[in-house]
Structure 1
Amino acid sequence: MTTTIVPIGYTHPAFDQLAALFDDYRVHYGQPSSPETTRSWLHDQLEQHRLSAAAAVRADDVCGFITVMTMPASLMLGTAWSIRDLYVAPRHRRSGIANALLQHTIHNARSAGARRVSLQTETDNAPALRLYTELGFQPVTGLELLNHSFDSTGQEPGEAA
């Protein structure tokens, strides 16, 4: 079956399918399903150009997606692309879709003059790590990922409202 990778904006006819699959992705990672809120959030991210998205389409069915942020790479005086989300519907896994989405993104980043493409995943996600290293992604040593988090009301965890 032929897979086509297509950019999906908030006005694209497949946007609603993408938003539904994005909600499934969130549920996969333990978040409660919230189709309308997810759709609205994704619409805003794409409309404000905070994210760009591409979808893998088979027979008019969105079966996977990737989202990317473009950021300044200050020291290199260029740009870096950061893959934020990559998800393939369970029934389409192990069929080359994630590989195709990643190859599409790497190609587009190179064509746009980006200096690097980065991503992050859990250390125990062996299938993803294997795919990423096969495509040339290398672990970054000497750096730590640090977060300063807020809850949905803007409060720090444990902070009195």
Structure 2
Amino acid sequence: MSDNSVPTGSLRVTICDTEETLAAAGVLFDAYRRHYGMPPPDTGESTVGWLTEMVRSDMLTIFTASAAGSPPIGLATSHVIPASLAMGRFWQLRDLYVLPRSRGQGAAAALVGAVRDAARTAGATRLSLVTEPDNEAALSLYRRLGFRPVEGLASLSLDLT
């Protein structure tokens, strides 16, 4: 286990940065992708390989939540974004997933709290996220944890593939 573990109530949140913790995160990440209808990765690229590349290049920070002595039940990813006008940085919570059988045990809140604390420690000025407007469970959780909608901004995307 990585020494980047922090107890959060009855759960332990770990920042995944070793082969062992990234392998455990990979199992959850595959479940997360399947949840959204994505196929397994091509044989040429493994989930753990991709996660390792993202962590080593500082593009993602990966967190898992687990109960003592158990495999992880939840996963969160985040990354740093330059805050140009403030000449600072903010963090974005990219992915949040808890195994369906483990929901309602506080893992999602523990993971969001760990991301928030890591962002504060790193000097971030805010933590943001994007979710689907009909994802009521996620929206309820995020509101309960203090997130508020951003008024006056539109979310746009340009596919490059």
Output the TM-score relative to the length of structure 1: 0.87
- Structure 1 residue 37: Cα displacement: 2.6
What amino acid is the match of 2:85?
L
What amino acid is the match of 1:82?
Q
Structure-2 residue corresponding to 1:159: none
- Structure 1 residue 39: Cα displacement: 2.0
For residues 4-43 of structure 1, give each alpha carbon's deviation from its aligned partner in whole angstroms, at most 9, with x where no partner exists.
001101x242221111110110010010123853222111
Return the match for 2:15 from 7, 24, 34.
7
| Gapped regions of structure 2 (runs ≥ 5) | 1-8
What amino acid is the match of 2:78?
V
* Counterpart mapping for 1:55-134 below 5 A: 55-58=64-67, 59-134=69-144
Displaced runs of 4 or more, over 4 A: none
C-alpha distance in structure 2 between counterparts of 1:47 and 1:107, whole Å: 21
Q: How many residues align?
A: 150
| Gapped regions of structure 1 (runs ≥ 5) | 152-161
Query: In the alignment, is residue 25 of structure 1 matched against residue 32 of structure 2?
Result: yes
C-alpha distance in structure 1 between counterparts of 2:19 and 2:147, whole Å: 30
C-alpha distance in structure 1 between counterparts of 2:56 and 2:122, whole Å: 20
C-alpha distance in structure 1 between counterparts of 2:11 and 2:48, whole Å: 24
C-alpha distance in structure 2 between counterparts of 1:42 and 1:150, whole Å: 21
Structure-1 residue corresponding to 2:63: 54
Output the TM-score relative to the length of structure 2: 0.87
Which region of structure 1 is more displaced relative to structure 2, 75-84 or 102-111? Answer: 102-111
C-alpha distance in structure 1 between counterparts of 2:54 and 2:70, whole Å: 24
TM-align CA RMSD: 1.6
Query: In the alignment, is residue 41 of structure 1 matched against residue 43 of structure 2?
Result: no
1:118 is paired with a residue whose SS is strand
Q: Report sequence identity in percent.
A: 40
C-alpha distance in structure 1 between counterparts of 2:153 and 2:36, whole Å: 25
